[in-house]
Structure 1
Amino acid sequence: MSASQVRIVVAEDHAMVRQGLKLVISSEPGMCWVGEAGDGHAALELVRSLQPDVLLLDLGLPLLDGLAVMRTIAQEHLPTRVLVVTARQDPASVRAALALGAHGYLLKTDDADALVAALRIAAEGGYQVSAELAGVFEHEAGTQEPLTAREVEIAQGVGRGLSSKRIAAEFGISEHTVRKHRENIGRKLGVRNAAELVAWTIRTRL
């Protein structure tokens, strides 16, 4: 990511929605709109050629849907991070996107402030999930073994959208130690990735 600009490509099949997103992104300091696509194939070509910091991706794209776009990005090891912004809020879509490596999942009903915050978090390697989706994983809790004080601090950091590197710097520990704590947290809570942990912190108001 550029030190001064977060470079963003938007993949959304409705032109009016793209225009609205462009207005929001272009008005934000430190953010740069570098391209837009109305279908999945065009989105992939832009990601390959421009290698933006973040792809803002709708799941309901024609020709190639958003999940297929994400799958290809992962298979080709492209460095762009994906922030999903969609109308889909069914658990299957949310879980599938997060499993494919999305750095965030917002709904089109979320406001512009939430979008901007999620874009910045994704660009820095963190994760964000719409508050409306916090209950998606409510019935998937693990053993509920209590978290240690340090694990609570790590979970709070993830919930704030911090990357492992930022959390390590904040607490004066190594990234490896942060990753081990996150593995333990995931095992105890039954969450499978950082985005699910973010949803858990929202639901529990940690």
Structure 2
Amino acid sequence: MIRVLIADDQALVRTGLKMILENAGDMSVVGEAGDGGEAVDLALHLNPDVVLMDVRMPDMDGVAATRQLRAQVPHIHVLVLTTFDLDEYVYAALRAGASAFLLKDTLADDLLSAVRVVARGEAVVAPSATRRLLERYVGVGDEPPPPADLGRLTEREREVLGLVAKGMSNLEIAAALFLTEGTVKTHVSRILSKLELRDRVHAVVYAYERGVIRPAT
């Protein structure tokens, strides 16, 4: 059973999310918080597997709460929820250690799938929204010099990293490169290991920040 804590300042949103999660059969909502500070306190006490974290909350926002949680209990995974795909807090939340973010209008099945993925310690990247966030916050200035650590990657791994940064799934990358999905998964795992990145989300951020792929203008 996946134990989930919901953090959102709107009671109606919490109620809706709770209904979706508890109807899944393999999830249990162990607590609800109305702000970031309460979310941190409850997470430390209840030890959930996943925290669904709204970003815009009073007193302590979701970014600060995510940062505290990841510092104190790194085994608890944070899935950020936001109303707008260009929310100024979401990029900061990813940098703070969130494993995923989704829009609040995400379909119920996609939300449940994301919770399961995050609970396994993997990451969820909402492709188009992630891309727009990075386009906004990374910037479109001069090409940065290639970082030395990129030299650890093979040519194929660089290619895979670029496609990951475009928001493509392993299955889509496999189709594009005429590889099996298992081979792509192996490449992604090696990329994360070689570049010392925590998960797929941070691989996307890394690729944009280091100029592996440039945001669209």
Tell me whether the two structures share a fold, i.e. TM-score over 0.5.
yes
1:137 matches 2:134 = yes
Counterpart of 2:156 (choices 149, 158, 174) is: 149
Match in the other structure for 1:188: none
Query: Counterparts in 2 of 1:172-183, with a 5 A limit?
Result: 177-182=190-195
1:111 matches 2:111 = no
Distance 1:129 1:48, change over 3 A: same
Match in the other structure for 1:123: 119
Match in the other structure for 1:187: none
Q: Taking structure 1 as the reference length, what is the TM-score of the superposition?
A: 0.71
Amino acid at match of 1:113: D
- Structure 2 residues without counterparts, runs of 5 or longer: 171-181
Q: Distance in 2 between matches of 1:61 and 1:25?
A: 21
Quote how far apart the aligned CAs of 1:34 are.
Answer: 1.1
Distance 1:91 1:11, change over 3 A: closer
Q: Taking structure 2 as the reference length, what is the TM-score of the superposition?
A: 0.68
Q: Distance in 2 between matches of 1:55 and 1:181?
A: 29
Quote how far apart the aligned CAs of 1:156 are.
Answer: 6.5
Distance 1:192 1:28, change over 3 A: closer
Question: Is the 8 Å Cα contact of residues 55 and 82 (structure 2) preserved in structure 1?
Answer: yes
- Structure 1 residues without counterparts, runs of 5 or longer: 162-166, 185-190
Quote how far apart the aligned CAs of 1:93 are.
Answer: 1.7
Q: Distance in 2 between matches of 1:60 and 1:91?
A: 9
Amino acid at match of 2:89: S
Match in the other structure for 1:101: 97
Q: Distance in 2 between matches of 1:192 and 1:106?
A: 12
Query: Counterparts in 2 of 1:152-171, with a 5 A limit?
Result: 152-153=159-160, 160=169, 171=186
Question: Is the 8 Å Cα contact of residues 127 and 195 (structure 1) preserved in structure 2?
Answer: no
Match in the other structure for 1:80: 76
Which of these two proteins has the greater Rg computed from alpha carbons?
2
Matched pairs, number: 187
Question: Is the 8 Å Cα contact of residues 99 and 118 (structure 2) preserved in structure 1?
Answer: yes
